[in-house]
Amino acid sequence: MVLKTSYLANHVRNLKPSGIRKFFDATAGMTDVISLGVGEPDFVTPWNVREAAILSLEDGHTSYTANAGLLELREAIAKYVDDYYCVAYDPEHEITVTVGASEAIDIALRAILDPGDEVLVVEPCFVSYAPLVTLAGGTPVIVAAEKENDFKVQARQLEDAVTERTKAIMICSPNNPTGSMLSKQEMEQVARVAKKHDLLILSDEIYAELVYDDLYTSFAAIDGMRERTILVSGFSKDMAMTGWRLGFVCAPAEITQGMLKIHQYAIMCASTMAQYAALEGLRNGRSDMAEMRKSYRLRRNFVVESLNEMGLACYKPEGAFYTFPNIELTGMDSESFATRLLHEERVVVVPGNAFGDSGEGYVRCSYATSMGQLREAMKRIHHFVDNL
């Protein structure tokens, strides 16, 4: 029997692998490496949250939950979103507990896109956005946020990119990789474009709790936007729960029912043990969250100051745990910079172009690592830049 040359579907074969992975793979076998590459907290999940998972196992909660997640957890999510973001969602019909924000983004796109529908993807952005649009049969239309505006997308840029096939705008604020956050006024301008062209906003709010200077506003809380917003969030970042794989998505009932169909066939339900842990986090986790936020804030200030002092211009990001310094003065592109920094100083950063072409000329440095490690990393980067 003759085998086909490849069994892969074209749209899968043509997907580029993540530009982040490459740099982690390159560190294999190297010692004394400091990684500013990872997008996850260096904190361990708070003890009471871990204990809640252990107790759930001891109590024998080892079976599936409802497809949409434990009702108790959905009720706690509804309360949290209402208390902190002033948006009311019905836990029975408008909230789904997912396997991380990653699954939430995936099922949201699959629920709303017909083949060929366009989604405006604001770049630089998290690596999964454009590939997930493609996998859902849609067409990602890249809108490059400009460095002159500290990578905050302008409403006019979105307006210019809208066509009759545009279905949604995908936006993440505070942003990975830039740390930029839209002000309420800037969000209102984006919302105006969405309303004018009858678009949905797929709002990735996973960094909503990691905001250091201003108050946070959810897209769903902007006047008239609740009905056209799909609010994605999760526990990975603010509760230091990346490995538990737990997120959630809030959306109007019709969209939620659509997402739930995909979720029930593909996933069934998120991990039961992780759901009990998250429930404890929502009920009693705010002081831990506040402690972690305080620590990230100090680290942000230190890293931004250090990078600027060594000549790598870096605006002060309002949220998340990333800085995005400009490395153009070194004369290198972002990939060469990251490669040489790794081999010459053993510090991992991620080239800006891993997050879209508009990230070229920048690198992402995560400060989700200890102050001691950050001090040493800044010393090494300074040495590298001085020796160029």
Applying CB under 6 A, the residues found at the interface with ligand PLP are: 39, 100-102, 126, 172, 176, 204, 206, 234, 236, 242, 247
Nearest residue (CB) to ligand PLP, 143 versus 332? 143
- Least gap, CB of 5 to ligand PLP (angstroms): 34
| Nearest residue relative to ligand PLP (C-beta) | 100
Following DSSP, what letter does each residue of 25-91 receive, concatenated? HHTTT--S-EE----S-SSPPPHHHHHHHHHHHHTT--S---TT--HHHHHHHHHHHHHHH-----T
Q: Where are the alpha helices (DSSP H) in 169-239?
A: 184-196
- Least gap, CB of 297 to ligand PLP (angstroms): 18
Contact assessment for residue 175 and residue 167, using Cβ atoms and an 8 Å cutoff: no
Contact assessment for residue 87 and residue 220, using Cβ atoms and an 8 Å cutoff: yes
Nearest residue (CB) to ligand PLP, 27 versus 128? 128
Nearest residue (CB) to ligand PLP, 126 versus 362? 126
**If we measure between CA atoms, which residue out of 375, 369, 379, 363 comes closest to residue 302?**
375
**If we measure between CA atoms, which residue out of 227, 164, 216 comes closest to residue 191?**
227
Nearest residue (CB) to ligand PLP, 266 versus 313? 266
Nearest residue (CB) to ligand PLP, 179 versus 325? 179
Nearest residue (CB) to ligand PLP, 104 versus 332? 104
- Least gap, CB of 102 to ligand PLP (angstroms): 3
Contact assessment for residue 78 and residue 95, using Cβ atoms and an 8 Å cutoff: yes
Length of the chain: 388
- Least gap, CB of 276 to ligand PLP (angstroms): 17
- Least gap, CB of 262 to ligand PLP (angstroms): 16
Q: Where are the alpha helices (DSSP H) in 202-326?
A: 253-266, 272-284, 286-309
Query: Cis link prior to 325 (omega < 30° from 0)?
Result: no
Instruction: Name residues whose C-beta falls within 8 Å of residue 133's C-beta, 6 or more positions apart in sequence.
Output: 109, 113, 119, 121, 139, 140, 170
- Least gap, CB of 364 to ligand PLP (angstroms): 10
Nearest residue (CB) to ligand PLP, 65 versus 236? 236
In a 13 Å sphere around the CA of 240, the CA atoms on its Cβ side amount to: 21
- Least gap, CB of 39 to ligand PLP (angstroms): 4
The Cα 288–Cα 365 span in angstroms is 24
Which pairing describes strands 118-123 and 139-144: parallel, antiparallel, or unpaired? parallel
- Least gap, CB of 383 to ligand PLP (angstroms): 29
Nearest residue (CB) to ligand PLP, 204 versus 280? 204
Instruction: Name the amino acid, one letter, at 21.
Output: R
